[in-house]
Structure 1
Amino acid sequence: MKTPLLDYKDALELSLALVAHTPQTQEIPLGEAMGRILAKSVRALDPLPKATNSAMDGFGLRLEDVGKPLEITHTLYAGQSAEGINISCGTCVKIMTGALVPEGVEIIVPFEEMDFYHKSQAQAPAKEFKPGANIRFVGEDIQRDELIAHAGERIHAGTIALLASQGITHVLVFKRLHIAIFSSGDEVIPLGTPAQAHQVYDSNAPMLVALLKSYGYDAVHVGKLGDDLRCQQEAMQTWGDYDVVVSSAGVSAGDKDYFQDALLQQGATIHYHGVHLKPGKPIMLASFPHSPRPTFVFGMPGNPVSCMLTCLVLVLPMLEKLAGSKEKLETLRVPLSEPLFFKGQRLHLVLGRIAQGAFTPYRHNRYGSGAIDALGACNALALIPPGVLEVQESVDVLLLPH
């Protein structure tokens, strides 16, 4: 049974609507949380800064004492208590970055701005200083109990630094998706085996694994589907172990493209087979009703460019929602270095490079879906909406991982 082609927007909305369950969670050490998706929002345990401190190496004094020679009563370093120290008129403190600011200090003047200073005396210039100059006040960045990390966010190095500053040692994250990558096609052979004239090296599987890992997913290449209906059916009997299966090739209309028949005969539901995309029209989404959660299956086009680009615009958004992420596909609007022309009511995916603030299409957008060289040469993907016949000025682009 042939299913009608969907518009890209409808295919994307359909796939996201199919995600009806929340991933399981686990608590892990903060040091292992890079790239994981936060399952529970985190509030600040302490204000940041935790205490009022100096933003500079310099001298702390009262505003009324600028332009006057002052007695240096204390030298303060980060990590020292300032309890009991009170700066009165005619005195100042020598203070280092991060040191707690004692009572009475209204400004801090950096060493290089002082009129003079020596062992026992210092003088700040007689000019106007704003109250609180070079002082970091308690809670000026973050207040106690303020939300500092939100559920659904992917944890990066900055998140880890922020959580560590609160003394947080463990975080609750969503469990990783189990993603299996399958190759397909009798002509495809693994790397390390000499290819004959009628054979091609498997490039899609390593590409898909690398691409998904670059986005924080733990994808594994688990094997190859032969061009045989029974062989594919047998392989599918193990797919309940995975959250998502991504198989490249076998989704077109060739004599040996058994993938759809194998899925249907094993009890899968085909949600769509064919999307108004260029390249990537044959892409397929199916699912098996496994318990406690379904297994989603993407059948990808066999041509490497089509395979990668459809993964970016259709597979990744669904993976994000399945994984518990609230991040969306984000594009940038950038100037176009040369006009682009199109035909047909479909979303056009155009590889190119962003350099000096402009997008330049790869080879003037004259390349085929098997042009693997384009994947290595480009750093951006332009998304041209259906119905647009000519683009002269600017385009929406998705930055590619490198």
Structure 2
Amino acid sequence: MDLISFQEALKIGLNLPQMGLEVQKVPLQEAHGRILAKDFYAKDPLPKATNAAMDGFGFRLEDLGKSMPIGATIYAGNPLAVLAPGTCLKIMTGALVPDGVDVVVPLEQMQEYDDLNATAPLGFKKGANIRYEGENFQAGDLLLKKGTPLKIGDIALLASQGCATLSVYQKLKVGVFSSGDEVVGLGSAAQKHQVYDTNGVVLVAILQHLGFEATHLGHLPDHLKEQTKRLQESLTHDVLISSAGVSVGDKDHFKEALLQMGAKIHYHGVNVKPGKPILCASVADKLIFGMPGNPLSCVATFLALVRPVLCKQAGNNTPEPLIKARLNSPLNVKGQRMHLVLGHLENGVFTPYKDNTYGAGAIDALSRSNGLAYFSGVTEVLVSLLP
């Protein structure tokens, strides 16, 4: 197995040809987490019209400090009123501000007022407590770029523009296998020589969290012909991911099965710990990843090397942010390679779980950690938060 560097593996994955993505229309309330398929431009300015930011009184600057008759009271939803000469206006939050009103003085800051007259103190600057039309953005401004994963704030912004439906990319269809004759499904009674299907369940959960349409396709037996058949039948999915069977053992048939299908192997073996045997391949425009069988290795390498590739393939132009952090103490590791270290990130400081002395089978490390650090022998690390 010829190893390539972590950086090279990631570059290969990110430079794979973009698979064709279908576009669909969805109601705005169902668009959270989806990937925007077209640039979205503002239909209206924000604010749409100049309006009051507070409940109060509208005055001309030169009338501050004077007792002024109240010419009218205006509310949000009222048509635009007129400020008559020699008067002020009582105005509520969101109401349209008439021409001539220079400031809105909040009720609690008024010098005095009753039903007929109002006196505002001096000291307010022009524009105080007024939201001017278009001060946030103008009609025609680019609000959201194609490829944006939509957050709650984006949904609110689009709703404010009257957007009822939205063009988004179809979700990637990802099929997940677990391989190995020792693997048994959850809910059954595993014997001493068996293990529960942790990888399949965890991968599906992560994939669904990332917004993909993920399906557990079951178990791949340690049999070359059967693996080839099952994988070939599953190419209706955009992406296939299988765990275990990617090393060089007698029953590790995954790579050979792919070759019998005519797959192109992009890499097999990365200089990373854990997760060295990870494999990336493609058949036509379908992507296939072979993950290590150990759950820690499987999750770590998926997050580091597979997640960014799938997000890009899904049309997402916003990479998962990596957080710069300091190590709480020096981390001694062996070998010149990328180390993926589980631990806890708090206030910019990363603390490896059990000082990075946990073993490959310590699944508790996943439960007790909130971050995955990328470490290659420096005092600072980059950390991605665990889903």
Q: TM-score, normalised by structure 2?
A: 0.97
Opposite residue 62 of structure 2, the aligned amino acid is: E
- Give the secondary-structure state (helix, strand or coil) at the position aligned to 2:171: coil
Pairing of 1:169-180 with structure 2 (within 5 A): 169-180=164-175
Q: d(CA) in 2 for partners of 1:70 and 1:196? A: 88
Structure 1 position 396, deviation (Å): 1.6
Q: d(CA) in 2 for partners of 1:150 and 1:22? A: 19
Q: Which of the numbers 163, 171, 174 marks the counterpart of 2:158?
A: 163
Q: Is the 8 A contact 1:87 1:103 kept in 2?
A: no
Opposite residue 367 of structure 1, the aligned amino acid is: Y
Opposite residue 55 of structure 2, the aligned amino acid is: D
Q: Which residue of 1 aligns with 2:14?
A: 16
Deviates more, 1:276-285 or 1:327-336: 327-336
Opposite residue 78 of structure 1, the aligned amino acid is: A
- Give the secondary-structure state (helix, strand or coil) at the position aligned to 1:241: coil
1:314 aligns with 2:305: yes
Opposite residue 153 of structure 1, the aligned amino acid is: T
Pairing of 1:163-312 with structure 2 (within 5 A): 163-289=158-284, 294-312=285-303
For structure 1, list consecutive stretches of 5 or more residues without a partner in the other structure: none
Q: Is the 8 A contact 2:83 2:89 kept in 1?
A: no
User: 1:375-399 CA deviation, whole Å, 9 max, x = no partner?
Assistant: 11111111113xx2x53xx322112
Structure 1 position 87, deviation (Å): 4.1
- Give the secondary-structure state (helix, strand or coil) at the position aligned to 1:311: helix
- Give the secondary-structure state (helix, strand or coil) at the position aligned to 2:235: helix
Q: Which of the numbers 345, 350, 367 marks the counterpart of 1:376?
A: 367
Q: Which residue of 2 aligns with 1:396?
A: 382
Q: Is the 8 A contact 1:19 1:321 kept in 2?
A: no
Structure 1 position 19, deviation (Å): 2.1
- Give the secondary-structure state (helix, strand or coil) at the position aligned to 1:167: coil
Q: d(CA) in 2 for partners of 1:35 and 1:275? A: 31
Q: Which residue of 2 aligns with 1:60?
A: 58
Q: d(CA) in 2 for partners of 1:207 and 1:65? A: 68
Q: Which residue of 2 aligns with 1:136?
A: 131
1:94 aligns with 2:90: yes
Sequence identity (%)? 52
Q: d(CA) in 1 for partners of 2:30 and 2:318? A: 21
Q: Is the 8 A contact 1:61 1:87 kept in 2?
A: no
Structure 1 position 65, deviation (Å): 1.2
Q: Is the 8 A contact 2:373 2:382 kept in 1?
A: yes
1:116 aligns with 2:112: yes
Q: Is the 8 A contact 1:87 1:105 kept in 2?
A: no
Q: d(CA) in 1 for partners of 2:237 and 2:343? A: 34
* Deviation beyond 3 Å, 4+ runs, structure 1: none
Q: TM-score, normalised by structure 1?
A: 0.93
Q: Which of the numbers 48, 67, 70 marks the counterpart of 2:68?
A: 70
Q: d(CA) in 1 for partners of 2:16 and 2:349? A: 37
Q: Is the 8 A contact 2:71 2:83 kept in 1?
A: no
Opposite residue 340 of structure 2, the aligned amino acid is: L
Q: d(CA) in 2 for partners of 1:56 and 1:146? A: 27
Cα RMSD (Å)? 1.3
- Give the secondary-structure state (helix, strand or coil) at the position aligned to 1:20: coil
Opposite residue 342 of structure 1, the aligned amino acid is: V
Opposite residue 59 of structure 1, the aligned amino acid is: F
Q: d(CA) in 1 for partners of 2:283 and 2:206? A: 24
User: 1:36-60 CA deviation, whole Å, 9 max, x = no partner?
Assistant: 1011001001101100001111111
Structure 1 position 88, deviation (Å): 2.5
- Give the secondary-structure state (helix, strand or coil) at the position aligned to 2:324: strand
User: 1:304-328 CA deviation, whole Å, 9 max, x = no partner?
Assistant: 1111111111111110121111122
Structure 1 position 240, deviation (Å): 2.0
Q: d(CA) in 2 for partners of 1:29 and 1:225? A: 38
Deviates more, 1:135-144 or 1:254-263: 254-263
Deviates more, 1:327-336 or 1:247-256: 327-336
For structure 2, list consecutive stretches of 5 or more residues without a partner in the other structure: none
Q: d(CA) in 1 for partners of 2:142 and 2:369? A: 38
Q: d(CA) in 2 for partners of 1:332 and 1:323? A: 23
Q: Is the 8 A contact 1:183 1:204 kept in 2?
A: yes
